[in-house]
Amino acid sequence: MNAYLGLTKLEGAGKTPALLAVIKSAVPLEGEADSSPDRSGFLEKVIREYRNSWKEEQHRAWYSHIFKQYYSIGPLLAAEQCTVKSVSPLVIGHGVFSVLETHLTLHPVYGMPYLPGTALKGAAAHYCHRYLGGEDPDFREGGSAYRLLFGSGQQAGCITYHDAWATPDSAGQAFRLDVLTPHHQRYHQMGQLDPAYAPRDDDDPVPIPFIAVSAAFQVMLTSEANADADNEWLGIAADILLQALAQEGIGAKTRAGYGRMKAGIR
């Protein structure tokens, strides 16, 4: 079961479009009851079908094959690889528009969760500038070390941050149902347009279920340069990234503790 298609596409014209029913009830009209149970039931169904598909030996063997194929580029280039594991739930892509109100970044072809290389690079760059840059100006944005690691508007960095795929051992159990509870939903939706929707103490909290991820991911950084000095920067880049994932986290809701990861095998 491709979870990306299950969460973003209708099941087909005339074939019990479960997603369509959830879309219609995702934002209740004035005076209508909230339909969170329908959305929760739909997400639970997606998680259940996704897990069941991973119980099939053929499915696991197929994913293991494409996983090894994807990471086979590592030995051809100077590379740093390591496994990072979720310490807290992970949500990447929550800010992206979605018919289900909350989005989750999934691989559009294979349907499993992954960490986009752009997100890994952004997390590492932020950590480098904020923390290392406070001790050494070269690691601040625009500094020489920062430009080598992350590039600038005039030059590319020497490090490539690849997408990190969920490992075959953890991908099948990667999804979990979570919930966020805004207490002033009408204010957030209409408050800036109409003062009548100002937040009040008697507002009812509205639970919104969503899917979060807890898995292990294989991180890969590479460099096409042959110079030993450039290859040494691979280790530095990996150390910065691992510190960023452990201390700052990645994805949405990091201030609430989401997105923390720890290094495994390296």
User: Two tokens at 118?
Assistant: 């752009």
pLDDT tens column, 160-213: 999 999 999 999 999 999 988 877 777 766 666 667 777 777 777 878 889 999
Measured between alpha carbons, how far is residue 68 from residues 62, 75, 105, 179, 238 in Å? 10, 12, 22, 34, 21
pTM (predicted TM-score): 0.82
Q: How far is it between the farthest Cα atoms of the chain?
A: 67
In 87-171, DSSP assigns E strands to 114-115, 160-161, 164-166
DSSP state, residue 128 = I
Q: Where are the alpha helices (DSSP H) in 55-167?
A: 57-70, 117-127, 133-135, 144-150
pLDDT at 29: 43
Task: Give 218's contacts (C-beta < 8 A, 6+ positions apart).
Answer: 67, 71, 81, 82, 83, 164, 165, 167
Amino acid 33: pLDDT: 42
Predicted confidence (pLDDT) per residue in 46-102, tens digit: 899 999 999 999 999 999 999 999 999 877 778 889 999 999 999 998 877 766 777
Q: Which of 10-14, 182-186, 211-215, 239-243 has the lowest mean pLDDT?
A: 10-14
CB of 250 closer than 8 Å to CB of 92: yes
pLDDT higher than 50, residue 13 = no
